[in-house]
Amino acid sequence: MRKPKRFYSLNRPKVRQSWNKHNLYNLARMVGDQPQMNGMRTFFQQKWDAKARTRGYHGDHIPEKKWIRLFDRRLRSAVDMPPKYLALNDGSEQAAGRGSGLTTNQVSAENFWATAEVSTTFPDRVNHPRMRSASRLSKNSLLAQPLSNMTPYMQMTFAPLERRLDTAIFRALFASSVRQARQFVIHGAVKVNGKKMVHPSYQLNPGDMFQVDVEKVLYGTGQQKIPQESVRFKSRLEKAEEREEKAQAQLIKENSGEVESESAEGSSESPEGAKPAALSEEDQLVLREQLLESLLVDVKMVLRDKTRMKLSAKDKSRLRVFRKSAAKFLSRPEGSEIDADELIEELQSQMKSLNMYSHGKERGEASEDADQVREPNEQQKQRINRALDIEGLDDKQKETAIKIIGYDHLKKSELRNLADLLKQEAENPIDESKPYATPWRPRPFMSAFAFIPRYLEVNPNICAAVYLRHPVARKGLGEVPTPFPYFTSQLAHNWYLGRG
């Protein structure tokens, strides 16, 4: 059914099956609550109102006719009968005579329950002033007191809708609203028992497994894409590349200047094509060394800065830039994915061949430390200084940077750490081709809506879930997630019973 106008209204609000911020606000200010009973409205009016409000939440995308066909006056419930109770009592203790002032023993199945009970005390933490006034000292709350001790059958009014595929997808936290879940189904992103299912109204049977396309789930539950963000990252990457190219050009110029000072100077006109040929093998080695050094400066910054416990956003972006430029350094084709382990291995071999690898002994840290104490030679110092130049740091920044990164080469253990960091990074990478903000983050306020009812078993890793059984009511708990109190559901149930 078409989405109604003013779906998230603030003036005449309705609670919706969605993680929208309007919905959060409406929930917090007790929009779902039953209006105070003041005797001014007829029973019919109360029922009508309750029906309208509950239907705004439960399957507002389903035509009323279809819902009426689904409605079932039989409400399911279950009782926990611990085996120990059943073994020790045959039920006669419940039927023992109570006449003539006899009081029977109070043994029942409840005495044997071991599962955690729901909390019932009223804490002071309330999210909206209206919540406090509604939860205490009202006629409704007084009426609601005995309800916590009974089986809330009326909360199961809309249980048949929980069987629908689209609702189950929303309940399993694979979509941010039922309408979105419905769209996922229609677009063919959902499988039931391994077969594509395009009917959102498919009624799940107990034991059915449904899977949603991972990309769709990430899109549905992730933060929306902000165009500026990707632009920022792109510009940072471009800047880094530009710097590198500039430095490279400068290096080449210097080196070739030394070589070509004897030869004619006019030949340096053609910059790009002639360069590699003009450089001697030794110079090429020096150039490559310098390039690698400037590549590793950022990594050293991340790995050796002990003042921070967690990776900051800047560190992460450094790692990302490193990954991109390392792939380029290793002359990988653009856009090809490179595995973290593979990358580290190749880097290691490059460093070995360039003599830039400190052979920290595997036996212990002591020998590594001894390696570190050794005075750096002039060449090394020069190289790092130049690498920091490329970074575009001034003298003061350079000093602090050198204090952090030191003059020595990367050690084996550090490389291992780097591989781990890169792997973590690869789990949630920046990817502009995705329709959601990358790296993936959950939608704002998602945690307020994050619950999984017990009739589902969800595996979020593969975005699959099993519909275990139909929802049931048990003592003090109704398993159908509904934002409405008992009275409202009762009135709505009465409406659909269709009696007077």
Partner 1 sequence: MAPRICGTSTTLASLDACLQTSSRLAAHATRPFSLTCRNEKITKGRYEMVKWIKEKATNNFDKNHPTYLGPQVDQPFPSNPLFRSQTVLSESMKNRIYTQVMDHGVAMKAVSEEMQVDVRRVAAVVRLKELENHWKLEGKKFATPYAKAVMKMLPQSQWAHGDMNIPHEPINDIPVHKLSMQQLFVPVSESRHFTREDAAKAFHEGLLSADKRSPQRELIEIERQAAEEGGDRATSIEEFRKEAQEAEELYATELARKSELEDARVKKQQKGRFEFRIKRYNSENVGKYGRARDATGWRYGAALQDRKRGMVKIPTSVP
At closest approach, how far in Å is the CB of 332 from partner 1? 20
Q: In the window 41-80, what residues touch partner 1 (CB under 8 A)?
A: 74, 76-80
For residues 314 and 245, the answer to whether their CB atoms sit within 8 Å is no
Q: Which is nearer to partner 1, 162 or 293 (CB)?
A: 162
Q: Does 125 bind partner 1 (CB under 8 A)?
A: yes
Beginning with the edge strand found earlier in the chain, give each strand of the sheet holding 195-196 in spatial order: 195-196, 190-192, 208-212, 464-467, 456-459
Q: In the window 440-499, what residues touch partner 1 (CB under 8 A)?
A: 440-442, 444-454, 457-466, 468-469, 472, 474, 476-486
Residue with tokens 């606000």: 25
DSSP assignment of 341-370:
HHHHHHHHHHHHHTT------SS-HHHHHH
The number of beta carbons lying within 10 Å of the beta carbon of residue 87 is 9
Phi first, then psi, for residue 210 (nearest 5°) are: -120, 145
Cβ neighbours for 186, distance < 8 A, ≥ 6 positions apart: 198, 200
The number of beta carbons lying within 10 Å of the beta carbon of residue 349 is 12
Show the CA angle centred on residue 402, arms to residues 399 and 407, nearest 5°: 145
For residues 319 and 421, the answer to whether their CB atoms sit within 8 Å is yes
Cβ neighbours for 275, distance < 8 A, ≥ 6 positions apart: 252, 256
Identify the three-state secondary structure at position 417: helix
Q: Which is nearer to partner 1, 233 or 407 (CB)?
A: 233
DSSP assignment of 3-64:
PPSSTT-SSS----SB--HHHHHHHHTTTTSPPP--S-S-HHHHHHHHHHHHHHHTTTTS-H
At closest approach, how far in Å is the CB of 448 from partner 1? 5
At closest approach, how far in Å is the CB of 436 from partner 1? 10
Identify the three-state secondary structure at position 203: strand
Interface pick for partner 1 out of 3, 38, 39, 91 (rule CB under 8 A): 91
Using CB under 8 A as the binding criterion, the count of chain residues that bind partner 1 stands at 116
Q: Which is nearer to partner 1, 259 or 452 (CB)?
A: 452
Q: Which is nearer to partner 1, 92 or 103 (CB)?
A: 92
Q: Which is nearer to partner 1, 376 or 476 (CB)?
A: 476
Q: Which is nearer to partner 1, 125 or 403 (CB)?
A: 125
Q: In the window 254-293, what residues touch partner 1 (CB under 8 A)?
A: none
Q: Which is nearer to partner 1, 323 or 411 (CB)?
A: 323
Residue 475 region by backbone torsions, left for phi larger than 0, else alpha for psi between -120 and 50, else beta: beta
Q: Which is nearer to partner 1, 205 or 235 (CB)?
A: 205
Q: Does 105 bind partner 1 (CB under 8 A)?
A: no
Instruction: Return the range that interacts with partner 1 (CB under 8 A); candidates 261-269, 341-349, 374-382, 433-441.
Output: 433-441
Show the CA angle centred on residue 470, arms to residues 50 and 477, nearest 5°: 60
Q: In the window 134-173, what residues touch partner 1 (CB under 8 A)?
A: 134-135, 144, 147-148, 152, 155, 173
At closest approach, how far in Å is the CB of 482 from partner 1? 6
At closest approach, how far in Å is the CB of 166 from partner 1? 12
Q: In the window 21-40, what residues touch partner 1 (CB under 8 A)?
A: 21-22, 24-25, 27-30, 32-34
Q: Does 366 bind partner 1 (CB under 8 A)?
A: no
Q: In the window 202-241, what residues touch partner 1 (CB under 8 A)?
A: 202-203, 205-209, 211, 214, 217-218, 221-222
Interface pick for partner 1 out of 2, 42, 99, 337 (rule CB under 8 A): 99
For residues 327 and 338, the answer to whether their CB atoms sit within 8 Å is yes
Closest CA to 324 of 425, 433, 215: 425
At closest approach, how far in Å is the CB of 26 from partner 1? 9
At closest approach, how far in Å is the CB of 320 from partner 1? 15
Instruction: Return the range that interacts with partner 1 (CB under 8 A); candidates 191-199, 232-240, 298-306, 491-499.
Output: 191-199
Interface pick for partner 1 out of 265, 362, 378, 427 (rule CB under 8 A): 427
Q: Which is nearer to partner 1, 360 or 483 (CB)?
A: 483
At closest approach, how far in Å is the CB of 459 from partner 1? 4
Q: Does 195 bind partner 1 (CB under 8 A)?
A: yes
Rounded to 10 degrees, the C-alpha dihedral 361/364/369/374 comes to -30
At closest approach, how far in Å is the CB of 498 from partner 1? 19
